[in-house]
Amino acid sequence: MSTVVTVTDATFQEVVLGNDKPVVVDFWAEWCKPCVMISKSLGELAEEYGDKLVIAKIDADTNPEAVRTYGVMSMPTLLMFRQGEVVGTSIGAKPKASLRKAIDELI
Q: Which of 7, 25, 32, 79 is catalytic?
A: 32
Q: Which of 35, 42, 66, 67 is catalytic?
A: 35
Q: Which of 47, 51, 46, 103 is nearest to 78 (CA)?
A: 103
CA distance 27 to 42: 12
Judge whether 35 counts as a catalytic residue. Answer: yes
Q: What count of other Cβ atoms lies within 10 Å of the Cβ of residue 76?
A: 24
**Catalytic amino acids?**
32, 35
